[in-house]
Amino acid sequence: MNSCVVLLTSALLVGAILVLSVSHTAESAPLSSHRNNFISEQDSEPDSEYVLEMLARLGQSLIRANDLEK
């Protein structure tokens, strides 16, 4: 019984250390230029023609899916 408690406690301690070390390295990692480009592209206005085309395709897909269910 005592060895199970010691084993469980040490496993939890090792797990906590791993989580803390991974979160610390993730926070300190610099942003790559690819990610910066993606963020800057998202800040600009989307092409309205493209958005309308995608909405039309989505609507057609939903209509076809409803027809197939019937």
15-26 burial, b for 16+ CB within 10 Å, e for fewer? eeeeeeeeeeee
pLDDT averaged over every residue in the chain: 74
- Nearest one of 49, 69, 51, 70 to 59, comparing CA atoms: 51
Q: Give pLDDT, residue 3.
A: 78
The predicted model scores a pTM of 0.37
Q: Give pLDDT, residue 6.
A: 81
Model confidence over 28-62: pLDDT tens digits?
555 555 555 555 555 667 678 888 898 999 999 98
Residue 10 has pLDDT above 80, yes or no: yes
